[in-house]
Structure 1
Amino acid sequence: MPEYDALIEDASAYEQVAFWGELSGLAPEAARDRAHEVLYFVGLDEARYRPVSGYSTGMRQRVKLAQALVHSPELIFLDEPTNGLDPDGRRRMLDLVLRVHAELGTGVILASHLLGDVERVADQLVILDQGQIKAAGSMAGLRKALARRVELRFLDPLDAAQEAALADLGIVLEARNGLYDLELREADSAGIFRWAESKGTTLIQVTPRHDRLDEVLIRALHPQTGA
């Protein structure tokens, strides 16, 4: 499913999806039957005979999804499927993406710059930069591997010198009631305990904080910054 469409404006969704089915190798009658099925699946059954020139952006995106599904592929590629959609249209499209996998058993590879969309539908993530893979794995696994934000609790209150020395570990985002919220320079929990021992204090708790996907992305693309 390409980001930008090349639909025939004066043809109906049904005609275009059936034609795409024939191009994909289906017999004409099978392509027509399958066009009805996938247009119903994407919610265009009542509008399927209308020319697409009168379709909204969301409807046009669903025509493209129907074209991608008409020949029952094992895997589909979706390039920016929510491009140009309003919030409700985005929600509907992402719901469809989830249903494609859950109900049809079709694998989905989705390319998107909208991290909210990725978080909503993806269970595996590949971060690319100029054609190079910077990180890959499950969403939870990448968050853990690239985790930098932690909350620290010490047995005794830190003195002024110890608090200042926390800068050795990273950036202190917040300090309250003996708890310290840090953005670590390196994802190294063992290093935190070594630091505590070297400063003559006892660390009793390290709690990883939930990283947003944009933070994971930045760390994967720019590991040297510690941001």
Structure 2
Amino acid sequence: MVAAINESAGLAGLPVTDSAPHERGDAARNRALLLDAARALIAEHGADAVTMDDVASAAGVGKGTLFRRFGSRAGLMIVLLDEDEKVQQQAFMFGPPPLGPGASPVERLLAYGRERLRFVWDHRALLSDAGRDPQTRFNAPAMLHRSHVRMLLATAGTSGDLDGQADALLSLLDSDYVTHQVEDLGRSLETQGQAWEDVVRKLCGT
């Protein structure tokens, strides 16, 4: 309980990914149609192959509606990523242990790393696109992840430069790094998860 209270206090200034503003019924329906269409196309063809024309056609709306709602292809991709990010952020901040409060900080770090590896792999194209722009690479959701890892390291009693240690750990979860490990080096997510665990235990002295 104390850990949960401390976490809520420590992360209070870093909100979970912002929700979309309140919309009229027809605008909200169009938004949902477009996002559902984009998700389905990405699942079938991969993010790199999906165009704005494809999304508009699949959703049955004009391309102008799509551009007015999201501004650009990059804007659409960021919204898709943010929606899924919000679900994961809620899980590690408020969900059941070991990912959420209630487990030891080391157990939570281990669960976080493995869960995040799966998320990064499933969203690798979107995260890679976002990572090329400093405005999205270091946005509020990214800083929330960093603060979460740093807080768990501190709660575990880790000594030394916590900022550097958090950054070093999170580099193992970078989308381009994870993709390179899987596609070029043949290192599975399970193998990478074990590497994450080894580094966490070294840092935390367990």
| Bigger fraction of residues in helix | 2
TM value normalised by structure 1: 0.27
Of Structure 1 and Structure 2, the greater strand share is in 1
TM-score, normalised to structure 2, is 0.29
Larger Rg: 1
- Higher RCO, 1 vs 2 (CA within 8 Å, ≥6 residues apart): 2
